[in-house]
Amino acid sequence: MKTLILNGSPRRNGDTAFLLSELKKYLDGEVVELWVSEANKDIQLSSCIDCRACTKTGVCSIKDDMDIIYKEDYDNIIVASPVYISSLPSALIALASRFQSYYAFKNLNNGVIDHSPKRAALILVGGGNGKPDHAMKIARWIFRNVGASYSDEAFVGSLMTDQVKAEDDENAINGMKALATYLNSSIGLYEQAAKQMR
């Protein structure tokens, strides 16, 4: 099993990183974590330039590290991120724009993308009074365009970090165990773990 994590946080020791460290304790198989924030990126990604080459081929004309994600040799995909102004950070939005190649080919050229089957999970952290609805919507769009199966049951949030750090958020920490159970096993086992968490 292989899990790809798209980490949108600019902080290597922040709340997102803490929750991912908890999750990785329980995940089986290979884990590839890509930091995409400009402040901390370990891959080179450009945003979509609207060249429209993909409308005929389904293949993006930009050659960069997005090919790691396009390769689809993973079984699970996780978006993990802080919430900024109720949305995902700009680096993750730029990454999402690169799935325009799939969207345009399917919707403008009636093309078919043969995605490998995979499952998705979402981890969000944030403080203040913002709601994560827009961030969740963008993440679901990413999952849909890579052909990943996602349910809101596979979402864990620590959304009061201005009051309680993620490392002190027992629900979020237990949520990492439940997510790992889901990603490692059947959905039925995940549902059992989720019930124990509540």
Kindly indicate whether the domain formed by 2-197 is annotated with CATH number 3.90.380.10: no
Q: Check: CB of residue 184 under 8 Å from CB of residue 27.
A: yes
pLDDT tens for each residue of 17-31: 999 999 999 999 999
8 confidence band (pLDDT: 50, 70, 90): very high
pLDDT tens for each residue of 141-174: 999 989 999 998 899 999 999 999 999 999 999 9
In 36-184, DSSP assigns E strands to: 76-82, 118-125, 148-149, 155-158
Distance of CA 173 to the CA centre of its chain: 18
Amino acid making up residue 98: R
> Residue 86 and residue 92: Cα distance in Å, rounded?
13
**What are the structural domain ranges in the chain?**
2-197
Q: How confident is the model at residue 133, as a pLDDT?
A: 93
